[in-house]
Structure 1
Amino acid sequence: MEGYISDYLIRQQQMLAALPTRQLSDLITLFRKAWEEDRQIFVFGNGGSAANASHFITDLSKGASDKMSKRFRGMSLNDNMAWMTALGNDYAYEDIFVRQLMNFAQPGDLMMTMSVSGNSPNLVKAVDWCRTNGVHSVALVGGQRGRLAEMADTVVAVDDTHYGRVEDAHMSICHLICYAFMELNEAI
């Protein structure tokens, strides 16, 4: 068991060390621009990525906002279960995010999704809608990259296919974004 744990942690450390710092800096700049322009920020995913989306938007809209001169306007599209189930039931599961974006998103807003595979039909459909409606799309994906990496305006790929490690790396990226604002405030 100790060998397994040691190997897992070594792979996790290597993956985190290989994250593209230039791309992460550019990603933080995108969030800063959305904040400066008072744009709405939408975040969502499936499974563990849904939990990461909720966690991230909480940290951004509460924690980071507490350190800034004005608030971030962020929303996790995973957090209204009644709406999600109504959309899935009345339309299709692949519509649960795009239909919410249709109600709220405006040209110039920022959307970020997370997916290890990069191929979830509901995420692909939402990114496609964003492309045709002037919403900047960000995709955090795993090593397979998938369709999201071909479609999103901004892509950060974590070079691994292990769901746990990639989801952990995505959450590390989310924390990095939030803590850049919490610790550097408006200096970034």
Structure 2
Amino acid sequence: MDSHTLSSRLEAVFRDSIRTKEEFLRTSLPLMEKATRLIVETFERGGKLLIFGNGGSSSDAAHIAGELVSRFYKNRTALPAIALGTGMPTLTSIGNDYGYEFIFAREMEAYGRPGDLAIGLSTSGNSKNVLLALEKARDIGIRTIGFGGGSGGKMKDLVEIPFIVPSPLTPRIQETHITLGHALCEMVEEILFSSKA
């Protein structure tokens, strides 16, 4: 690949990512406000956030949980957020004993309580283990948010707040998911700790 072609292709990747985020922003801003308020309400009432996904979405879930437990910008009280599926012995035990599709649902049953909030990440919206965990959350009385993409899959009808990134491309969806996660963390922190440095 010559230098001109490489440069053009790299630029196209960035422009496509920017376009995807701009379209998502146009269609999802009211949902972002609703999700921010739901997360704030969950923490104010003593609930915790349970967040989960597969592969890159698992990394995004752990990243978002880490921003809440540690800090985003402010030195402040830790917020209770748990990324499910990150403990290898637990994950492999559930996978071996029950099947991989139950890895998040079993942890949801163990850790989830009414008043908590579940966020499932699935770029297709059809990851069986994510769907089963969201169903378990609803059974427990836990409110739900979904980070999806493409057509939204089955997840869009299963969650209270469905975020659907308007792209069929997994990388563009994941890039938008982490931007969304950062935006929510920033706003939640600002609302909860606005009077603190």
Give the deviation of 1:11 after TM superposition. Answer: 1.2
Runs (5+) with no aligned partner, structure 1: none
Task: Give yes or no for the alignment of 1:125 onto 2:132.
Answer: yes
- Residue number in structure 1 paired with 2:15: 10
- Is residue 26 from structure 1 mapped to residue 34 from structure 2 by the alignment? yes
2:64 is paired with a residue of what secondary structure? Answer: helix
CA-CA distance at 1:27 after TM superposition: 1.0
1:90 aligns with 2:97: yes
Identity %, equivalent residues: 25
Count of residue correspondences = 187
2:154 to 123, 147, 154: 147
Unaligned runs of 5+ in 2: 1-5
Shift in CA distance, 8/126, structure 1 to aligned 2, threshold 3 Å: same
2:184 to 168, 177, 182: 177
- 2:141 aligns with 134
Q: Which position in structure 2 is the counterpart of 1:102?
A: 109
Q: TM-score, normalised by structure 1?
A: 0.93
TM norm structure 2? 0.89
The Cα offsets for residues 99-127 of structure 1, whole Å up to 9 and x where unpaired, read as: 01111111121000111100011011111
Question: Aligned-pair distance for 1:144?
Answer: 2.2
> Is the aligned partner of 1:79 residue 2:86?
yes
- The CA distance in 2 between the partners of 1:133 and 1:181, in whole Å, is 24
Larger radius of gyration: 2
Please state whether the residue corresponding to 2:50 is helix, strand or coil.
strand
For residues 65 and 107 of structure 1, do their structure 2 counterparts lie closer, same or farther at Cα, with a shift above 3 Å needed? farther
Q: Is the 8 A contact 1:54 1:78 kept in 2?
A: no
- Give distance in 1, aligned partners of 2:157 and 2:187: 28
Residue 181 of structure 1 deviates from its aligned partner by 3.5
Q: Which amino acid aligns with 2:32?
A: L
Q: What is the one-letter code of the residue matched to 2:68?
A: L
